[in-house]
Structure 1
Amino acid sequence: MDMSLRARSTNLKQASTLSDASEIPLLPTNNNDNNNNNNNNHVTERPPIPRPTISQRALESTAHLANLLPTGTLLAFQLLIPIFTNNGSCDAATRPLTLILLAILAFSCFLACFTDSFKTPDGQIYYGLATFKGLWIFDYQAASISGVPSDLNRYKVGFIDFVHAVLSVLVFVAVALRDKNVVSCFYPTPNHETKQILDIVPIGIGVICSLLFVVFPTRRHGIGFPVTPDKR
C-alpha cells in the first residue's frame, strides 16, 4: 500500500509540474524584428541614378532652342530631311540635295528675323519685311482697308535684327547637327574625335545663343512667331 501511494503521489507531482510549465507564457522572439530590419535595409538600398550623358544634355538644350526658330522652317525640316536623306542613307545624288535644303532652311531662319507684324483696329494681323526705311507690307491693299499704322518707321531694321538673324542660323545648325538623319548622311561612320565634336558643339552653341538672346532681346513678331497681346 505504501509503495502504491508513493508512486501515485510522484505521478501527480510530475503532472502538476508539466501543467504549470505549459501555462508559462512564451517570450516573443526577434525574428520579426530581424525581418523588418532586413526589409528596411532592402528598401533603403537603391541603385544610383545614372547621370545624363553629353548627347542627352545636348538634345535637351537644342530642344529648348528649337522654340526660337520659325515654326514653318522647323516643320519643313522635320518633314523633308528624312525624305532628302533617305532616312540617313545618302548617296552621291542625295547628299548635295540635302546640303542645298539645309542652306535654304538656314536662309529662311535668317530672313524671318527681318519680318514683323502689326494688328489693325478690326483685329486682322498683317506681315511685312523690315527695311532701313520702315516696314514693307506684303498685302498693302488689304491692310490699307483695315487701317495701316502711321508710324511704320519704328519697324525699320536695327543692329539687334542682324544679331538675332545670325543667332537663328546658329541655332538651326545646332538642331541640324543633333538630327540622326543629317549626321548619318554627312558622317556615316564618324571617328571618336568627330563624335565628340558633334556632341559638344550643340551644347556650346546652346549656351552662347541663350546668353545672347537674353542680352539682345527683340520685340519683333515675324512670320512663324506668335504675336503677344501686350504689344499688338
Structure 2
Amino acid sequence: MDNGIRTMDSTSEVQSLLQNQPPLTRRRKPKKSKTKRAAKKTFKASDELSNLLPTGTILFFQTLAPVITQQGKYLTAAFLSLCTASIFFTSFTDSFIDSKGKVRYGVATFRGIWVIDSSEECGGLSKEEAAKYKVGYIDFFHACLSVLVFVGVTLFDKDVINCFFSEASKTIEEILLIIPIVITVVCSVLFVLFPTKRHGIGHPLSEPAAAAA
C-alpha cells in the first residue's frame, strides 16, 4: 500500500511540474544578412553561368585557379587571359556527324568549316553543306557573351577575388557579389533571344539532325 501511495504521489508531482512549466517556444532561425543572401544567389548564378561555357575550360580554370592565384597578380592575369582566349576560340568551333556516323570537330571559317580530325576535304561534306558552317556576325556576338560569362564566373571565385581585391571595402565586396547575378540575367536572356546552332568543342552534342543544321 505504501509503495502504491508513493508511486501515485510521485506521478502527481511530475504532472504538476509539467503543468507549471512555461510553454515551449520555437526558436526562430536567425535572419541571414544581405551579404550571405547575395553570396547564396551568386553561387547559384555561378553554376548557371558555367553551364554556358565549355566544360574543359571551366574544369581547367577551377583546377588551377587555387594554385596560380597564390603566385601573384601577373601570373593570374596571364592565366585568366589564356582561359578567355580559349573560350573565345571555342565559340567558333563546331561539330557534325559524317556519313559513317562519327562525330567530327572543326573550326568555322569565312568560307565554311576546317575539319580537324578528318583527312578528307571538309570532312566529307559537300561545298554547299560546308558553307552552312561559315562564320557569321552571330558567332562574334556569342563569343563576346561567352567571355562576359567567364568574367562573371571569375568574379565569384574567392581565390581570384583575394588575389586582385584583397583589401577591398565592404561596398566593393557587395558589388562584386552582385555583378555575377546581373551577368547571369542579361546573358541568359540574350542567349535565349539569339540562340546558337553550334555545338563546338567542350559543348554537349545535339541530335544528328540538328548537328547538321
Structure 1 unaligned regions, length at least 5:
1-30
Q: TM-score, normalised by structure 1?
A: 0.73
Residue 101 of structure 2: aligned partner: 123
- Is contact 1:115–1:221 with CA below 8 Å preserved after alignment? yes
Contact 1:174 1:201 in 2 (8 A): yes
TM-score, scaled to structure 2 = 0.80
Q: Which has the larger radius of gyration?
A: 1
**What is the DSSP-based 3-state SS (H/G/I as helix, E as strand, rest coil) of the residue aligned with 2:199?**
coil
Q: How far apart, in 2, do the equivalents of 1:201 and 1:225 lie?
A: 25
Confirm or deny that 1:78 pairs with 2:55: no
CA RMSD of the aligned region, Å? 2.4
Partner of 1:53: 37
**Where does 1:3-22 land on structure 2 (aligned, <5 Å)?**
none
Which structure 2 residue ranges, 5 or more long, are not aligned? 1-14
* Matching residue's letter, 1:225: H
Q: In 1, Cα distance between the equivalents of 2:112 and 2:123?
A: 19
**1:176 aligned residue:** 154
Partner Cα distance (2:84, 2:77) in 1: 11
Distance 1:145 1:183, change over 3 A: closer
| Regions of 4+ moved over 2 Å | 45-52, 143-150
Q: Which residue of 49, 73, 77 corresponds with 1:65?
A: 49
Alignment size in residue pairs: 189
Q: Do 2:104 and 2:123's aligned partners in 1 also have CA atoms closer than 8 Å?
A: no
* Alignment match, 1:97: 75
Q: CA deviation at 1:108?
A: 0.8
Once the two structures are superposed, the pairs formed by residues 1-232 of structure 1 within 5 Å of their partners are 45=26, 47-48=28-29, 50=31, 53-86=37-70, 90=71, 94-141=72-119, 143=120, 147-150=124-127, 151-229=129-207, 230-232=209-211
Among all aligned residue pairs of Structure 1 and Structure 2, give the percentage whose two residues are the same amino acid. Answer: 42
Q: Deviation at 1:147?
A: 3.6
